[in-house]
A = this chain, B = another copy of it.
Amino acid sequence: MSEHDADVVVVGAGLAGLTAARDIEAQGRSVVVLEARDRVGGRTLNHPIAGTEHVVEIGGQWVGPTQDRMIALARELGVTTYPTYGAGDNLVDWDGRHIRYRGSIPKINAAVLLDVGQAQARLERLAKKVDPQAPWAAAKAREWDSITFDTWIRRNTVTKGAATLLEIAIQAVWAAEPADVSLLHVLFYTASAGSFEKLIGTEGGAQQDRFHGGSQLVSLRLAERLRGPIVLEAPVRRIEQDDAGVRVSADGHVVSARAVIVALPPTLTARIDWSPAMPAQRDQLIQRTAQGTVAKCMAVYDTPFWRAEGLSGQALSVQGPTRVMFDNSPPDGSRGVLLGFLEGRAARDMGEWEPEARRRAVVDGFARVFGPRAGQPIEYIEQRWADEIYTRGCYGCYLPPGAWTAHGQWLRRPIGRVIWAGSEYATVWSGYMDGAVRSGEQAALDVAPLL
């Protein structure tokens, strides 16, 4: 058992934990970071493209306008961005028809476009009435937290097409189904991003840019620059606190410190043995925070052949199984990479399949949209985050009906010498890398008075 002492112990070496550690060191304090995995980066993870110097990300990858803290951090660390490939036409695979379009809304038919347009406008208006720092305080919070987003869709659309487009948007943003999430949660999250348009958009939205070298590079460089140790393969089992400090026990390591920043997905925080026990309200909140379900699937080709056909590689498919697709080729186009997401129900159901059957279904889906060449990739890469015991679901957590209004005030509340960090705790860009960075910065500020 190795013993450590520090001013602060940080649990989790993802973007939030590492950002917090960096800022605490900048305050002149000492930090020990405990990380369960054998690597840093949390839900950001680079993966090599075979036979190249390039990587694709099998975790979070994009950054967009107003994600200022992630952009600033990357710039400071010398990690540069380039635009998500978007030249040419997007495609929608709609009941067997292939329609080309530009922008974020496919040109299906006028009635559907009008319908989804008015629904989205209504959603944007409602989101403006929710303060992401206190969703429970909205005037109609109880009403909005009493219905599922599925109920809201049925009340606010008249065409099946508009309902389908909203369903795909929910799956794409939350990796969950419209029935899973409360309307209030959708409004909170939309408000934290600034608008629904920003959530779903590529150019001008959250999918606008990519990082040279892969998003995990930000965490890798943060880790290099820390003075204090990052102890890998040290899953934390128990956290004790008293008036003087904390004692954090991981496999093989014990750290004593004045305070602890726990930078884990909320659901995992209940799996730590706490002394004293967490308050009932916090524990019951965590019983109601669920991580989304997503498989990130990529097929690699010799070239991005669709570009020659005037296609951007961005596509929507009602049939799926990956309903949202992107060109995820390396910046020099030396390989072609199609990226598709299995999200919500598709990820849950197909998560039980044999890997080869799932690969076949995903690649067949690519081929249906992009033609037979897409059916013959030279490599297939897939990541299912619900299988990862130190994450247990992506992109982030969502709250079902009733939870924000009953327990939400406990989400970010420190418990004595325990401060929370992680993208789920952010009030700006919750669920995104930018939110993770912001939550880490906030945690470093919040911990200072405890030192």
Contacts and interface: CB of A to CB of B under 8 A. Distances in A.
A290 B287 CA distance: 5
Contact of A400 (B345, B386, B401): B401
A147 B176 CA distance: 15
Contact of A271 (B182, B270, B288, B405): B270
Given A351-B281, A386-B284, A345 B406 contact: yes
A179 B289 contact: no
Interface in A261-283: 267, 270-271, 273, 277, 280-281, 283
A267 B237 CA distance: 17
Interface stretch (A16-24, A108-116, A193-201, A387-395): A387-395
A386 B288 CA distance: 13
Interface string A135-155: 000000010011110110000
B178 A281 contact: no
A434 B15 CA distance: 48
Given A284-B393, A289-B287, A406 B271 contact: no
Interface in A338-391: 344-345, 348, 351-352, 384, 386-387, 389
A291 interface: yes
B273 A270 contact: no
Nearest to A275: B389
A351 B409 CA distance: 14
Given A179-B145, A270-B270, A280 B384 contact: yes
A177 interface: yes
A293 interface: yes
A83 to B, nearest CB: 34
Contacts of A273: 237, 271
Nearest to A407: B348
Chain B CB within 10 A, most for which of A150, A352, A384: A150
A243 to B, nearest CB: 21
A402 interface: yes
A156 to B, nearest CB: 14
A124 interface: no
B348 A177 contact: no
B402 A280 contact: no
A180 interface: yes
Interface string A402-420: 1101110000000000000
Interface residues of A, number: 47
Contacts of A400: 180, 288, 400-403
A251 to B, nearest CB: 10
A177 B384 CA distance: 33
Given A237-B237, A288-B290, A290-B288, A180 B345 contact: no
A284 B288 contact: no
B178 A351 contact: no
A164 to B, nearest CB: 15
Interface centre among A271, A280, A387 (most CB of B within 10 A): A280
B150 A147 contact: yes
Contact of A402 (B148, B237, B291): B148
Contacts of A406: 177, 180, 344-345, 348
A352 B281 contact: yes
B283 A180 contact: no
Contacts of A348: 281, 284, 406-407
B280 A284 contact: no
Given A148-B401, A151-B151, A400-B402, A284 B291 contact: yes
Given A179-B145, A290-B288, A280 B401 contact: no
Contacts of A389: 277
7 contacts: A146-B151, A147-B151, A177-B406, A180-B400, A281-B352, A284-B348, A287-B392
Given A237-B273, A280-B293, 6 more contacts: A147-B148, A270-B270, A280-B386, A281-B386, A284-B386, A348-B407
Which 3 residue pairs across A and B have the least CB separation, nearest first?
A400-B400, A280-B386, A180-B402
Interface of A: 142, 145-148, 150-151, 176-180, 182, 237, 267, 270-271, 273, 277, 280-281, 283-284, 287-291, 293, 344-345, 348, 351-352, 384, 386-387, 389, 392-393, 400-403, 405-407
